[in-house]
Structure formats: C-alpha cells, structure tokens
Amino acid sequence: MQTALSYLVAARHQEIHELEQLNRTCELVRAVSELVHRLQNERGVSNVYLASGGQHDAARFDARITSSELTKADVLKWLEGIQPGEGLAGGSRLFTRIAIALNALEALPHIRENIRKRDGSPLKSSERYTRVIGSLLSLVFEAADVSVEPKVARLLVALFNLMQAKEYAGQERATGARAFAIGQVCAGDLKSLTDLIDLQEQCFARFETFCSQSVLSQWQALQATMPLADIERMRRKLMAANMQLDSALSETWFETCSQRMDDIHLVETHLTTGLQQACQLRIAQTQSELEDQQALLTDLSNARSMAPSCVLVSELAQAQGQPELLAGHAMGSRLTGAIFDTLQTQTRHLQAVSEELISVRAALDERKHIERAKGVLMAHQSLSEEEAYRLLRQKAMNQNLRLVDVAQSVLSIAEFLPKRS
Amino acid sequence: MQTALSYLVAARHQEIHELEQLNRTCELVRAVSELVHRLQNERGVSNVYLASGGQHDAARFDARITSSELTKADVLKWLEGIQPGEGLAGGSRLFTRIAIALNALEALPHIRENIRKRDGSPLKSSERYTRVIGSLLSLVFEAADVSVEPKVARLLVALFNLMQAKEYAGQERATGARAFAIGQVCAGDLKSLTDLIDLQEQCFARFETFCSQSVLSQWQALQATMPLADIERMRRKLMAANMQLDSALSETWFETCSQRMDDIHLVETHLTTGLQQACQLRIAQTQSELEDQQALLTDLSNARSMAPSCVLVSELAQAQGQPELLAGHAMGSRLTGAIFDTLQTQTRHLQAVSEELISVRAALDERKHIERAKGVLMAHQSLSEEEAYRLLRQKAMNQNLRLVDVAQSVLSIAEFLPKRS
C-alpha cells in the first residue's frame, strides 16, 4: 500500500505541474484577448480612414497601430519568457497554433502599408485583418480544447465564445458602416448582416451556458446599460433593404457598435481574471491534497517500522472489506481507513472530471465539425468561407436540421466528393 | 516568420516528447494485459479448486499464483524504471489509476490465503479477483481516454474492448462452470449469463470497429479455428433453464472457455505489438518533419543574413497572397513558399487530429455515462453493480432506448434523487 500511496503522491505532483502549465496558457490567452481587441479597433478605424479617401482619422489610425503594436510586443515578450520544457498545457498542439498566429501577425506591416497607400478597398483590408484575428481566436479555441481541468475548460469555452461573438460584432460593424456610408445595402451585405447577427446570438448563448455565475451577473448588469436599443433600431434600418440609408448615421452606427464591443471586452477581462483565479484555486486545492497524502505516506512508514504485522492485518482486513476485523488495531485501522478513503475520493474525482469534460467537448466539437465541413466545401466546390457557411446554413434551414448535423453529413460523404483542381 | 518557424520546431520537439510518453504508456498497457490474463487464469483454477473442496488442482493453483506473481513483478519493475519527470501520457490521471490498481493488487495474498483455507464460496473469491482485474482494466481505459494521438487512441480503444470482452468471457466461464458442477442453473445465474454474453458481443463489435486491418484479419482467421460451436452448444444447454445439467460437462465447459480466452489473448498480444509500432512510426514521422522544419529555419537565417530585403519583400508578397510579386526573388520565393506550405500542412494536421479524436472519445464516453449512472443507482438505491446494470438494461428494453440514453437520463436527474444513508 506504500507503493500505491507513492503513486498517489506522484500523481498530485504531476497534477500541480499540469495546472501550472494551464495557468501559463491562461496568461497567454489573456494577452491574446487584449491583442484581438486592439486589432479590432485598428481594423474599425482603418475602415473609416479608407472610406473617407484618407481625409479623416489618419492620426487616429496611427494611434491605433501604436496601441496594437504595444500589445503585440507584450504577447511576444510573454512568449519569450516561456522556458523550453516548462511548457504550456496542450503542448505541441498549442505551440503549432502559436506558430500559425505569429506567422499571421507578420502580415500586419504590409496590411497597414497598403491602407496608408489607399491600395485596396475597405472590404479587402478588413478581410486581411479578419484573417489575422481568426488565427488568434483559433489559438484560444485550441487552449480550451486541450484543457483537461473541467472548470477551467468551461471558462475557456465561455471566453472563446465571447471573443468569437465580439468578432462577429466587429464584422457587423464594418459591414453596416460601409452600407450607411454609401447610402444603401446590397443583397450580399444583407445576407452577411443576417448571418453575423445570428452567429453572435449563438455564441452569446454558449458563453452564457459556460461562464461563471459572477461573470454572468456582470454580463447581465452590463447589458442593461449597453446601447442595445440603438443598435437594434439601426439594424432595422439596415435590414429594410430597399430604403435609402441616411449616410449621416454611418458615424453613429460605428461609434455605437464600438461602445458595445468595448463593453463586451470588459466582460472578457473579467472572465480572464476568473480563469487565472480558477487555476490558482485548483493549484492550492491540489497542493493541500498533496500535503495530506504525503503525511499519510509518512505515517504509514512510521507505523510499518513500529508494528509491521499489525498494519498488515488491518490492511488485509480492509482489502477484504471486513473492517470489523480491524478492532484492536486502532492505529493501523485509522491509517488504512484514511488511505482507503483517499483512494475512493480520487476515484470519484477522476470519474467526475472525465464526465464533466464530456459536455465541454461537445460544445467544441460542434465548431470543429462545422469548420471542417466548410473546409471540405471550399476545397471541392471552390467556394469562399462565407459561401460555404451559407450553403450549410441553407441546407439546414431547408431540411429543418441543426447546422452541425448538416456539417456531419457533408463530412461523412467528403471522401466521395470529386476534388476540384 | 523566423519566430513562427521556431515555434513550429518547438512544437515538433514537444510532440516527439509526448509520443515517447505515449509509447511508454503502451508498454505499461502491454504488461497490464499480460497480468490480467494470468489473473483470469488464476481465478479460473481457484474456482475449480474450491468447487472440488480442495481435492483437485491444488498444485495447479500454486503454479498459477507463481505465474501471476512473476508477471506482477514485471509490472512493478517496469513502473520503478519510470524516471520522475519522464512521465507517461496522461500524467496525473494515469498515475492515480496506477495507485488504485496497485492498492487493489495488494489484496491478492489475502484472497489466496482465504482460498487455501477454503474460507468463502467460489462466487465470493471470484468477485474479489474480479475487483482486482477491474482496477487493471480501468487503467487501460484511462490510457485510451487520455491519448491525444488518434491512431494510437483507436488501437487503445480496440484493446480495452477486447480485454473487457475477454473479462466478461471469464465471468461467463465461472458462472457456467458453477452451474454445470451443481447440475442446474438458478434464475440469477441465467440472468448473469444473458448479460455477460450480450456485453461480450458489444465489446467485440467495438473492438472490430477500432482495431487495425491486420489485427482484424488475424481475429477473423482465429475465429474460424475457435471452439465457438462447442461453446454455443453448451450455452444452449445452460440456457434451457429447467433442464438437469450433465455435471460431467463442467470440465469440458471450463477447458473450452479457457481455450477461447487464450486465443483472444493471442490477438491482444498482436494488438499491443501494433500499438507500439504505431507509436514508433509516429515518432519517426514527427522526427522527419522536425528535420525538415529545422532545415527551413537554417535556410531562412542564412537567406536573411545574405539578402534581408529580398526575403522581406517576398514574405510580404506571400502574406498578402500575391505570389506573382515574388518573381525575381527566386530564393526568397522558394523559401517562403515552403514555410507557407509547412504551416498549411500543420493546420490541416491539427484539424484532422482533433476531428478523428471525436469518434474515439464518443466510444469511450458511452462507458463513462453507463459507469457513472450505475454508480448513482448503487448509491441511491443500495443496489449491487450487477443489479444497477440490470435496472438500466431493463429500462432501455422497456422503452426501446439505447443503454447510454437511459444512463444519461439517470445522470440528468441524479441531483434530485434522495440519498440513502
């Protein structure tokens, strides 16, 4: 039983190591959420700047770039501080996502240079920013997917969905601003707006399912003060497709949407703080379990050296499920009882953890199926990402199915589809 | 882009480290599957020994104990050889399972002592062995659950199901032998036999879904030579509940079942060999990816120091998605193209891995739900494990539902159930 206990102690040491890696991953996620927010700001201002033909907001654009670069430098510096071997939770998968995100970030100087030269449309430059932001969001998604601590994994799923909702809100802001500026909504923009609003709502719902009570309260309180009615009123005008839009509303729309995004970011920050607290709490709990188990191990060695046979008898009685035989072996009985309880607790804990992770993973799996099905359609039908999404959604609506079910049926026949070259 | 590449190289290093941990876990699983087989043999012989009132097979029982102890010593020695920090895949969860299994193994001397003293029924001593074997099976299950390499995870799921099927076959052997020996089947044994045959078939089906083609071929070839018809004939006699059984068949039944279990164990051994080959293949593949990526990194440093601006222009053009600008920057173009391709490949690989794991996990999740629901019923209704299983199965049959769906509905109302003290 001493050997069993030693492995239990080794398991706690290992668990603390894993939680520390997870804690570091959460620090990275926090920095990434800040960088995404700055890049969304920069993208927004770049749109206004380009739409004005470079007349407005040149200085504001520069200020946004400086702000993004400062946060990017924080992320890079944080990454440099990671000792090799110390590692992050999720190991190789997270490192690969970091590589992909860093590669995407290196496009920024060129995106900005093009904007300053007013080379390319606001739409085109938006799309480039969106790709960079997408690679950062995928990093947060991966962090949630590889986390094996259910409470932290739940919060990471909440955070990813909140960030993804804000990103759709940012894309909606850009599309709406463009429409107000030219005074009308084209059919393509109208479809995009419908999709983006729909997607935001799905993400917010999932965020609400997985976030903590304290974040949910803050979110509900904040929504009461958000300019939601103003946004809905302007959305209604945008959606009335054949109407001439008041181009003076462009700026109001942009500012109102931006304020909402800043508010969402406040909740993100609250959530990332909660994430790190959850990690630290689990580390402290595991530390205390470790100390208890180490104390048991010491007691057992002492008892064995004092009265080996007595301990053996009590262990055997325990193993046999006959604790009544333990009478008269008081110390041994207390000890083996404690060891037995500890093992029982750990078994239940393992079972609970692995069960809780199932629901977390189900939430992530939906996105994986949909992303993968989009990829298949893009490759086989030469569609853009947006067109692929719309095709899936159309199928789902026509057949009254969930999007994820349509995605799965696409995946199940993927290997039979001809490949377009 | 150099930074992105460095992270890609770091990711490959980390991946190799993770695969080596997984390889070690597979070594442990191989040793555990051997130990389970020996303990099943020991349990079987102990039943015959007890049923004969200690007249038969005393020497054979001793020989089985020696054989189990030798294999147990292998497992313990292997565990001692694990360097702290080197670790196993699955870290803390697997270590906890090892602790639980080691603790269970410590009951063996006492189980054997009781058998030698002919203290307790064959049924009772079987149940004690079954608990020990169960803790070893849970270890294999955990190894499958924590594996993040889909090909290896699939084989671990196949192995777990094959081992679990053989364990049900062992329990069927014991129940049948008991019934033949006393010349009749009681109602409880009849139910048990039905369940055990049913459970074996489910496990074999899952094993066939997840094993490799080469293992499947061996399995199919072996089944042709297995004494399946003999077993089915004797099963039919057992199931004809009101008939007097020919007690002379007890030994034939026992030997035939044992031969089938030995055959199944052959396939297990083939499967564990395949597991380690799969690990080693993945390690070699990742090693070769690592070398390619390291070579790219060196090329990039050299190119940068020779012609920094040329490389920069080509990178920007690439980032912008305008490879036509690359003309005239031949070397930079080749390099950034290669880096771009590598990142694309890694992205697709990540997506594929995470998608493949979904189906593996679904197979494992079913068992988790069912185990957890059984636990809930055992706690709340004071049922034995077998009764809890039978209750779930009865509900499923009555309502024409899958067992896992009934389990999930039990879990969803678990918190509202009153706790029996």
**Residue B196 included in any domain:** yes
Distance from CA of B3 to the nearest CA of A (A): 7
pTM assigned to the model: 0.86
Comparing B342 with B319, the larger pLDDT belongs to B342
Render pLDDT for B199-231 as a digit per residue (tens, 0 to 9): 999 999 999 999 999 999 999 999 998 888 999
| Residues B133 and B166 both lie in one domain | yes
Distance from CA of A316 to the nearest CA of B (A): 6
Among B250, B284, B318, where does a domain finish? B284
Query: What average pLDDT does this structure show over A247-267?
Result: 93
Residue A414 predicted with pLDDT over 90: no
Residue B364 predicted with pLDDT over 70: yes
Half-sphere exposure of B420 (CA within 13 A, CB side): 9
Angle between helices B330-381 and A91-105 (to 10 degrees): 140
pLDDT at A322: 46
pLDDT band for A418, please (50, 70, 90 cuts): low
Query: What average pLDDT does this structure show over A90-116?
Result: 90
Query: What average pLDDT does this structure show over A52-74?
Result: 91
CA–CA distance, B327 with B323 (Å, rounded to integer): 8
Residue A307 predicted with pLDDT over 80: no
**Residue B192 included in any domain:** yes
Comparing B271 with A119, the larger pLDDT belongs to B271
Distance from CA of A264 to the nearest CA of B (A): 29
Residue A327 predicted with pLDDT over 60: no
| Residues A263 and A408 both lie in one domain | no
pLDDT band for B332, please (50, 70, 90 cuts): low
Contact (CB<8Å) A7/B96: yes
Of the candidates A95, A103, A114, the beta carbon closest to that of B343 is on A103
Residue A320 predicted with pLDDT over 70: no
pLDDT at A272: 95
| Residues B197 and B321 both lie in one domain | no
Instruction: Give the highest mean pLDDT range of A181-185, B149-153, B354-358.
Output: B149-153
Tell me the chain B residues in contact with residue A109 when contact means C-beta distances shorter than 8 Å: 316
Residue A96 predicted with pLDDT over 50: yes
| Residues A278 and A358 both lie in one domain | no
Render pLDDT for B247-262 as a digit per residue (tens, 0 to 9): 888 889 999 999 999 9
pLDDT at B90: 66
Give the lowest-confidence range in A1-5, B162-166, B217-221, B226-230: A1-5
Query: What average pLDDT does this structure show over A49-60?
Result: 84
Tell me the chain B residues in contact with residue A2 when contact means C-beta distances shorter than 8 Å: none
**Residue A299 included in any domain:** no
Residue of B nearest to A128 (CA): B320
pLDDT at A35: 98
Among A232, A252, A284, where does a domain finish? A284
pLDDT band for A241, please (50, 70, 90 cuts): low
**Residue B240 included in any domain:** yes
Give the number of domains in chain B. Answer: 2
Render pLDDT for B42-82 as a digit per residue (tens, 0 to 9): 999 998 888 888 787 889 999 999 999 999 999 999 888 87
pLDDT band for A371, please (50, 70, 90 cuts): confident
Among B235, B269, B284, where does a domain finish? B284
Tell me the chain B residues in contact with residue A8 when contact means C-beta distances shorter than 8 Å: 95-96, 99
| Residues B213 and B252 both lie in one domain | yes
Contact (CB<8Å) A350/B142: yes
Tell me the chain A residues in contact with residue B145 when contact means C-beta distances shorter than 8 Å: 354
Tell me the chain B residues in contact with residue A145 when contact means C-beta distances shorter than 8 Å: 354
Residue B330 predicted with pLDDT over 70: no
| Residues A207 and A311 both lie in one domain | no
CA–CA distance, A323 with A307 (Å, rounded to integer): 19
Residue B323 predicted with pLDDT over 70: no
ipTM higher than threshold 0.85:
no
**Residue A401 included in any domain:** yes
Contact (CB<8Å) A93/B350: yes
Tell me the chain B residues in contact with residue A361 when contact means C-beta distances shorter than 8 Å: 361
Give the lowest-confidence range in A6-15, A251-260, B217-226, B308-317: B308-317
Tell me the chain A residues in contact with residue B106 when contact means C-beta distances shorter than 8 Å: 1, 4, 315, 319
pLDDT at A354: 83
Query: What average pLDDT does this structure show over A251-275?
Result: 95
Of the candidates A8, A18, A76, the beta carbon closest to that of B96 is on A8
| Residues B216 and B318 both lie in one domain | no
pLDDT at B244: 87
Comparing B84 with A202, the larger pLDDT belongs to A202
| Residues B226 and B322 both lie in one domain | no
CATH number of the domain within which B350 lies: 1.10.10.10
Distance from CA of B269 to the nearest CA of A (A): 27
Query: What average pLDDT does this structure show over B315-326?
Result: 46
| Residues A111 and A185 both lie in one domain | yes
**Residue B298 included in any domain:** no
pLDDT at A328: 38
Non-local (6+) Cβ contacts of A303 within 8 A are A310, A311, A331, A332, A335
Distance from CA of B102 to the nearest CA of A (A): 5
Residue of B nearest to A10 (CA): B95
What average pLDDT does the structure give for chain B? 86
pLDDT at B317: 47
Range(s) of the domain holding residue B410: 307-416
Through-space distance between the first and last CA atoms of chain B, rounded to whole angstroms: 63
Residue A378 predicted with pLDDT over 70: yes
Render pLDDT for B88-111 as a digit per residue (tens, 0 to 9): 766 788 889 999 999 999 999 999
**Residue A186 included in any domain:** yes
**Residue B111 included in any domain:** yes
